[in-house]
A and B are shown apart, each in its own frame.
Chain A
Amino acid sequence: MRRPAAATGLVALTLSLCVAISATATAKVTEMGELAADVRAGCPDACQALARVTGYQAKVGPERSLYQAPADGRIVAWTITLGDPITRDTAAFQKRFGEVSQAAIVVLDAGEKLSRTVVAKAPLQALNDYFGQTIQFPLVDSLAIKKGQYIALTVPTWAPALQVGLGPDTSWRSSRDAKGCLDTAPQFALLGKRTSALFRCLYKGVRLTYSATFVSNPTPNPK
């Protein structure tokens, strides 16, 4: 090897020959809410869509913290499994909720009871071109997230990203008004200046088919 003299360390080399390297690995990539291969959004069969709402997955089976950050870090990408609605379903969703199916990932800070506030958000992503796929979107600007904060999905129009017919221990929560948990007409998505809501509406037996790629912040050596 032609050694760059920075190989230099030769001087220092003899000074500490016997010190072992404490090779700790800090920070790691985690998929929050990882979508198993059998996770499928309902369309075209049992076609349902998420509409005009912000939601997060509260439970998947017994697990309650799949969508909460395990440490301080950054969200660098997000993934969504999209159903493939047939033309007639697509037309009906478009007529009712908007031409373009779209969604964005957001970070929710947990307040008292079920109060949640958007503290970071990614740009909205048009989805129509990806129906029928599990697709990952890397973020241009990653999102800061603190331990315990939630990753949620904001859908101002509609998105075929619901897996239905699951056990009652799987459930998601939405930003809809508690008096209108089944009212899909008003806009309840946390957008623009509207950044806070109570997530009282709980929908059992259903999964929102999204996940987020999380990288924890590095941990400095103790001083």
Chain B
Amino acid sequence: MGPGTAASLRRAGMVIAATALAAACALPAVASAKRVEIGALADEVRGSCPDSCQAVTRSTGYQAKVGPDRELYRAPADGRIVAWSIGLGKPGPKQTKFFEERYGGAAQAAIVVLDPGKKLARTVVAKAPLQPLAEYFGQSVQFPLTRTLRVRKGQYIGLTVPTWAPALQIGLPSDTSWRSSRAKTGCLDTTTQFALLGTRTLATFNCLYKTARLTYSATFISSPPKPKEK
């Protein structure tokens, strides 16, 4: 064995000296930072199409609860979102045509980071580029981000859909629910554009939809701990 530095340092006797001083010392091998799938999708989680075909449309949403768990879509620490995944249903051609004609064209979505304000106010503080989805229908697909997104502990990961996306799992128990950026008076208004896009970055997420799950997740890596001050 002859790794670079080793040779010259060994010649200088330095390695030997160090070894003697620290013999029997175990390394405090702390593993800091970790990778977590925020809202990890089990294998069976997919958008419902073609059967019972429903889609998310013209809104920004986040999963508020999955069963008893309210924190699944909140960052567990400061870090970065490095990729996101979506379990897409597979609408048939007529279903696709219907959605495209009604909601402004091809299916697309983007992951966003939402900062929680008072009550249910949420502000977009980071967003990924919009991703066309049509060529991935029927897949659980993961998109690595070219520019990763900064996220702080407690912020939400949301899904912005300016057109439509077959990314709703329905028929779940009533303790599973998602919230949308739609106006409180129009929770069932799917034609008005409520997606947080462009200069529109703030909404109150009053609309709650029970028994449904948005089929997305995000790959999170926590930031390394800040160095101790010396």
Contact = CB atoms under 8 A, between A and B. Distances in A.
Interface of A: 1-13, 15-19, 21-29, 37, 40-41, 43-53, 55, 73-74, 76-77, 79, 81, 83-86, 88-89, 92-93, 96-97, 129-130, 132-142, 144, 158, 162, 164-165, 172, 174, 176, 181-185, 203-206, 213, 215-218, 220-221
Contacts of B182: 4
B108 interface: no
A164 to B, nearest CB: 6
A183 B141 CA distance: 47
Interface residues of B, number: 98
A17 B92 CA distance: 10
Q: Which of B55, B82, B87 has the most CB of A within 10 A?
A: B82
B205 to A, nearest CB: 13
A51 B98 contact: no
Contacts, number: 322
B207 to A, nearest CB: 8
Contacts of A5: 188-191
Contact of A44 (B18, B80, B139, B210): B18
Given A9-B99, A182-B4, A221 B54 contact: no
B221 A12 contact: no
Contact of B5 (A24, A45, A48): A48
7 contacts: A6-B190, A12-B49, A23-B140, A25-B140, A83-B27, A184-B9, A215-B83
B210 A213 contact: no
B1 A6 contact: no
A29 B35 contact: yes
B158 interface: no
Interface stretch (B115-123, B130-138, B196-204): B130-138
Contacts of B58: 6
Interface of B: 1-10, 12, 14-15, 17-19, 21-25, 27-35, 43, 46, 49-59, 79-80, 82-83, 85, 87, 89-92, 94-95, 98-99, 102-103, 135-148, 164, 166, 168, 170, 174, 180, 182, 187-191, 207-212, 219, 221-224, 227-228
A129 B227 contact: yes
Contacts of A206: 1, 3
A21 B138 contact: yes
B28 A141 contact: no
Contact of B12 (A45, A92, A129): A92
A92 B9 contact: yes
B136 A76 contact: no
Given A45-B19, A77-B82, A28 B187 contact: no
